Amino acid sequence: MSVETAGPSRAARQDAFFQALCFSAAMVLMATLAGLLIALVIGGWPALAHFGPKFFISAAWDPVAEDYGAAGPIVGTLVTAGLAMVMALPLAVGIAVFLVEFCPSVLAKYVSMAVELLAGIPSIVYGMWGLFVLAPWFALHVQLPLFYVVDPDSFWGHLFEGIPNGANIFTAAMILAIMVLPYIATVLRELLLSVPTHVREAAYGMGCTPYEVVSKIMLPYIRRSAIGAVMLGLGRALGETMAVTFIIGNSHEFPRSLFASGSTIASTIANEFAEASSDLHVSALLALGLVLFVITFAALVGARLLIGREKA
């Protein structure tokens, strides 16, 4: 009788201990997130209180005069991340569809390995490649021809104006697109593989073309989950530091064209945090970190709202 009662009691204790461990893991995560947010708010508050709303609309960044504004890095962050997603998303969808639908099984394994290998390359390697290879090539074969062909007073002239040195907003976005591409493509490939085989075969049996199967069956089937894949790439693009720092030009001015030098929030913090000599300078950098936190959080909230709308 005692043996029979001991068994459930021991199982109950193990279950309670396991639940406590899981709860502790979740609380550690929440405490870390709350601590990070509190540290950024406390550290950045002096700059926010000193400059007020001007901090978010001013492009000034003068450590000597102690005048700081976040408009340049904020716009640079949003523009480079947005352009990177515009470049990477169609390529990622194409790669995922090719691997699932059209690529021979013998070749698919090696192509998948190559895509996953791109995800494992350190960001500083991408940055060095961008600085020493992509930037000179882009300046010689893209910027200089456009400089001589496009009317500087036209819309396209204003869009593409800038020093033809290859270090600008657009090339930084290209590097980011290459970096986020394998993440999005890998997740989309796994999602497409999750589409039930009988659903695809039924579509082919009804006479659908491969394009119709992909566009009308497979992509709508994974639409909600694909939003998560896109947000994974966007989060990487928003927070990328070293690769962007190498190639973006690191100018705090408000970017006025695609080929203008600029900066992002992450690149500004990386460039200046170690050399910040005054409390206000450090506070301004922490305030930038808080802004990046809010932007990333807003992107995640937007993704959740989109997923919720799709479910409804």
**Along the 312 residues of the chain, how does pLDDT read in single tens digits?**
444 555 568 888 888 899 999 999 999 999 999 999 999 999 999 999 999 999 999 988 988 889 999 999 999 999 999 999 999 999 999 999 999 988 888 888 888 888 888 888 899 999 999 999 999 999 999 999 998 888 888 888 888 988 889 899 999 999 999 999 999 999 999 999 888 888 888 888 888 888 888 888 898 888 888 888 888 889 889 988 889 999 998 888 888 899 999 999 999 999 998 888 899 999 999 999 999 999 998 888 887 777 666 555
> Which residues are within 8 A (CB) of 33 and not within 5 positions of it... i.e. 6 or more apart?
none
Coil, helix or strand at residue 245: helix
* Rounded distance between C-alpha atoms, residue 173 and residue 85, angstroms: 9
Check residue 8 and give its pLDDT: 62
Check residue 2 and give its pLDDT: 47
Domain 53-307 superfamily per CATH: MetI-like (1.10.3720.10)
8 A C-beta contact, residue 281 and residue 68:
yes
Per domain, the residue ranges of the chain are: 53-307
8 A C-beta contact, residue 57 and residue 70:
no
Phi-psi region of 249 (alpha: psi -120 to 50; beta: other; left: phi over 0): left
Side chain identity, residue 174: M
* Rounded distance between C-alpha atoms, residue 13 and residue 178, angstroms: 50
Check residue 227 and give its pLDDT: 85
Check residue 277 and give its pLDDT: 82
Check residue 97 and give its pLDDT: 93
Q: Which residue, among 283, 285, 248, 282, has the nearest Cα to 264 in the 3D structure?
A: 248
The structure's pTM equals: 0.88
